[in-house]
Amino acid sequence: MEIKKAIITAAGEKQQTLPLQTLVDRDGMTKTALAIIIEEVIKAGVETIAVIINPGDQAAFGAAAGEYRSRLTFIEQQDRRGYGHAVYCAREFCEESPVLLLVGDHLYVSQGAKNCAQQLIEVAKNEACMVSAVQPTPESKIIHYGAVGGRLCPGRQRLYQIENVIEKPTPTQAEQELIVPGLRTGYYLCFFGMHVLTATVMDELEKPCRDSRPHDNIQLSPILARLASREKYLAYEIQGNRYDIGLKYGLFTAQLALSLAGQDRQEILAQLVEMLASRKD
């Protein structure tokens, strides 16, 4: 199972500008969020990347990609019909191949030698199936993410058999339908913003996307929930963290995480200590 293609969705209302924002990466280099995401993907062995954008955004995204522009295929989502429809727009690009899917408004910081995309692709290759990256998330934040319920695979660490998927569940829904034995109380396995998908996802998306009308909202999570009952579909708890730059203070938090994971960690920590010490309230 070779994963040589990736999709980055950037056509959502909030995603349209967030990937164009500038940050300083862990090496101290100034880059756009899009370029940082692309580097994550390329280091995982992906060769070509489709970016799903709104009509008219190609020039801005091409400039934001910088030196990686030649690796990109831009696909316009003519109507905003939801995340699932955005993914389906890349069906011809995928050509029945498994694909790494990422969202354009998340940044990822690994806690180990392998970046987050590398970790996920390695698991998908070994297991030869669809795998979604997940992260234990406190109940107060689950309304921002898709979440899964299931059970730990026997004899494995951080690898779960998915039994249910709900998009942005309420705390009550999560408590009733998304309990994962062994997970810390008050935490649920929420999507990390990164999946390895097989061609069956595009097959399942075909009918709802074909029959949809402008402004319909076609989501990916119900498709994943349906496939969980039909085929092997796993969740892997990534050794790292995702940062949703679309949330309040999300861009700031992502920048701080990148800084503390990089070569200037001690300098950043010293500046933070100095700032806190200078507060008078």
Strands (E), 57-123: 72-76, 99-103, 106-110
Reported as a single tens digit per residue, the pLDDT across 131-142 is 999 999 999 999
Domain span including residue 264: 5-278
| Mean residue pLDDT across the chain | 94
Read off the CATH number of the domain in which 68 is found.
3.90.550.10
Count of domains observed in the chain: 1
pTM listed for this prediction: 0.93
pLDDT category at 13 given cuts 50, 70, 90 is: confident
